[in-house]
């Protein structure tokens, strides 16, 4: 596997090389199109000036004069009508030039070698040290006819610049490469850390340490990662706790059932004892059955939202019917119950919502005080219906109130322990209300009572 680091460095250096070549091609085109004609014109003018000066100064020593001109930065080739050739200044790398060209220039033509120098992609004509790449003008001096070919001596003119630009280019390239290597390391570092953290997470270690104090996208990513790791840890904890709770809640009725069936097997038990044991066994079986039903319901509520069978129905009527079913239990406990339940239609799953009212009503009965009371009422709001269950029971303190919707949570008080329950009822209530897009509000005071308000959207 090629690391991201290597890829990044290779790509960046690749981009640098590509842009270098691209820039060179563009500047070469610019030279060919714009600078070459200009360069040709400029040098033609210089050559013509020289020719004019020599013709108007017959006393001048031509060779000395041309020697002087060459020393200020020109390469010069002089040929006279008899074919005698002389060179001034630095030699040309290549000095082929056809005799006809020389002849034409002696006879008065101007030779535009710079302008007509063949284009080559990678060699800018500007630097080609060839006689062909020069300007030729006719020159007369003391009756003699000559051809003067001239081009700027690039080496002499630009030698220092060459070195300077060479250094500039080399340093730019070296420094850029070093910076790319260093800065890429800085950029990639958090990704390596995140990778290590992901590996540790996948091995089940949620305690990942990510000290990435950056304010860019990577900083944001590592924060989200930490939040995710935290959530996963919580979920994992909950899962473990859930399994241990289920195992315990299944194990204890099973061992009770086993204990009492063993007792039933002994021959020396009275008929009263026997019926007592059987009713205990039945109670435990009922507890197990309630637990499995609740677990199945919770699992299906967790799994999909399609399980709702929604229709329009009268909630007021539904709750009144439920109250009627519990009338004997309420009476038995000496609890008084009052309700105000007008006929209000809402859209929802009647069977799931019945489970909600059932749980709230049985809790209000189970956690009430002797001779306590329960009030149930329903109000229509702008877009919702609020159903309130108020009891004068044992109540909850703030800490307990925070946790009552957690799965398997039961308040750990002597009075709660006396009451049958699984700690799943309110988590089911919360899941169903959430599925309906509703809200739950709880108000409670220890030893005074509790109010649950379920707010459901009308449609």
The residues of the shown chain that bind ligand ADP, judged by CB under 6 A, are 359, 363-364, 367, 391, 393-396, 404, 409-411, 416, 421-427, 450
* Nearest alpha-carbon partner for 393 in 314, 315, 456, 330: 330
Looking at the Cβ atoms of 261 and 300, the one nearer to ligand ADP is 300
- Least Cβ distance, residue 305 to ligand ADP (angstroms): 22
Looking at the Cβ atoms of 222 and 355, the one nearer to ligand ADP is 355
- Least Cβ distance, residue 291 to ligand ADP (angstroms): 9
Looking at the Cβ atoms of 5 and 405, the one nearer to ligand ADP is 405
Whole-angstrom distance, CA of residue 95 vs CA of residue 88: 13
- Least Cβ distance, residue 425 to ligand ADP (angstroms): 3
* Nearest alpha-carbon partner for 70 in 155, 133, 188: 155
Side-chain-facing half-sphere of 236: CA atoms under 13 Å: 13
- Least Cβ distance, residue 369 to ligand ADP (angstroms): 10
The count of residues in the chain is 459
- Least Cβ distance, residue 262 to ligand ADP (angstroms): 29
Question: Taken in order 164, 165, 170, 174, is the CA torsion positive or negative?
Answer: positive
Contacts of 267 (CB under 8 A, 6+ apart): none
Structural contact between residues 358 and 322, judged by C-beta atoms closer than 8 angstroms: yes
Please give the structure tokens belonging to residue 403.
């946790």
Looking at the Cβ atoms of 50 and 426, the one nearer to ligand ADP is 426
Please give the structure tokens belonging to residue 410.
């039961």
Phi-psi region of 437 (alpha: psi -120 to 50; beta: other; left: phi over 0): left
Looking at the Cβ atoms of 67 and 400, the one nearer to ligand ADP is 400
Q: What is the dihedral of CA 232, 235, 237, 243, to 10 degrees?
A: -140
Helix (H) or strand (E) holding 175: helix 154-202
* Nearest alpha-carbon partner for 452 in 401, 381, 398: 401
Residue pointed to by tokens 């020719």: 51
Looking at the Cβ atoms of 7 and 415, the one nearer to ligand ADP is 415
- Least Cβ distance, residue 381 to ligand ADP (angstroms): 23
- Least Cβ distance, residue 421 to ligand ADP (angstroms): 3
- Least Cβ distance, residue 362 to ligand ADP (angstroms): 7
- Least Cβ distance, residue 449 to ligand ADP (angstroms): 7
Looking at the Cβ atoms of 117 and 367, the one nearer to ligand ADP is 367
Looking at the Cβ atoms of 229 and 301, the one nearer to ligand ADP is 301
Looking at the Cβ atoms of 62 and 387, the one nearer to ligand ADP is 387
Looking at the Cβ atoms of 219 and 421, the one nearer to ligand ADP is 421
Side-chain-facing half-sphere of 22: CA atoms under 13 Å: 6
- Least Cβ distance, residue 251 to ligand ADP (angstroms): 18
Q: How many helices (H) and strands (E) does the chain have?
A: 13, 12
Structural contact between residues 378 and 458, judged by C-beta atoms closer than 8 angstroms: no
Residue pointed to by tokens 């939202």: 305
Whole-angstrom distance, CA of residue 325 vs CA of residue 327: 6
């Amino acid at each position: 596997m090629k690391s991201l680091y290597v890829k990044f460095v290779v790509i960046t250096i690749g981009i640098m090389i590509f842009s270098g070549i691209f820039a060179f091609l563009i500047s070469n085109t610019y030279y060919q199109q714009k600078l070459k004609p200009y360069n040709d014109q400029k040098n033609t003018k210089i050559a013509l000036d020289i020719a004019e000066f020599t013709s108007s100064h017959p006393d001048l020593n031509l060779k000395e004069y041309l020697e002087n001109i060459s020393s200020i930065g020109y390469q010069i080739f002089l040929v006279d009508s008899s074919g005698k050739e002389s060179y001034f200044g630095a030699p040309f790398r290549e000095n082929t030039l056809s005799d006809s060209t020389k002849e034409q220039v002696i006879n008065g033509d101007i030779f535009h070698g710079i302008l007509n120098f063949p284009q080559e992609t990678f060699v800018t004509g500007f630097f080609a040290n060839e006689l062909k790449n020069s300007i030729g003008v006719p020159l007369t001096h003391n009756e003699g006819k000559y051809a003067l070919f001239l081009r700027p001596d690039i080496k002499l003119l630009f030698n220092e610049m060459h070195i300077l630009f060479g250094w500039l280019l080399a340093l730019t390239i070296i420094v850029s490469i070093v910076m790319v290597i260093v800065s890429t390391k800085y950029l990639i570092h958090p990704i390596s850390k995140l990778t290590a953290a992901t590996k540790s997470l996948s091995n089940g270690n949620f305690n990942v340490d990510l000290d990435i104090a950056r304010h860019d996208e990577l900083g944001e990513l590592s924060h989200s990662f930490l939040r995710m790791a935290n959530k996963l840890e919580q979920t994992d904890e909950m899962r473990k706790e859930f399994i241990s709770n289920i195992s315990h809640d299944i194990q204890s009725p099973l061992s009770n059932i086993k204990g009492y069936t063993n007792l039933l097997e002994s021959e020396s038990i009275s008929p009263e004892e026997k019926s007592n044991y059987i009713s205990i066994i039945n109670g435990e079986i009922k507890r197990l059955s309630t637990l499995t039903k609740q677990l199945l319901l919770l699992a299906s509520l967790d799994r999909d939202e399609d399980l709702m069978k929604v229709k329009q129905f009268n909630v007021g009527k539904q709750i009144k019917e439920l109250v009627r079913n519990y009338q004997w239990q309420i009476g038995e406990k000496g609890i008084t119950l009052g309700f105000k339940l007008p006929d209000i239609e809402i859209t929802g799953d009647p069977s799931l919502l019945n489970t909600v009212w059932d749980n709230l009503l049985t809790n209000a009965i189970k956690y009430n005080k002797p001779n306590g009371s329960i009030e149930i009422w329903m109000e229509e709001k702008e877009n919702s219906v609020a159903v309130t269950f108020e009891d004068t029971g044992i109540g909850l303190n703030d800490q307990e109130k925070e946790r009552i919707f957690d799965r398997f949570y039961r308040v750990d008080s002597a009075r709660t322990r006396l009451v049958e329950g699984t700690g799943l009822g309110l988590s089911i209530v919360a899941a169903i209300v959430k599925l309906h897009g509703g809200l739950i509000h709880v108000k409670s005071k220890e030893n005074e009572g509790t109010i649950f308000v379920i707010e459901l959207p009308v449609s």
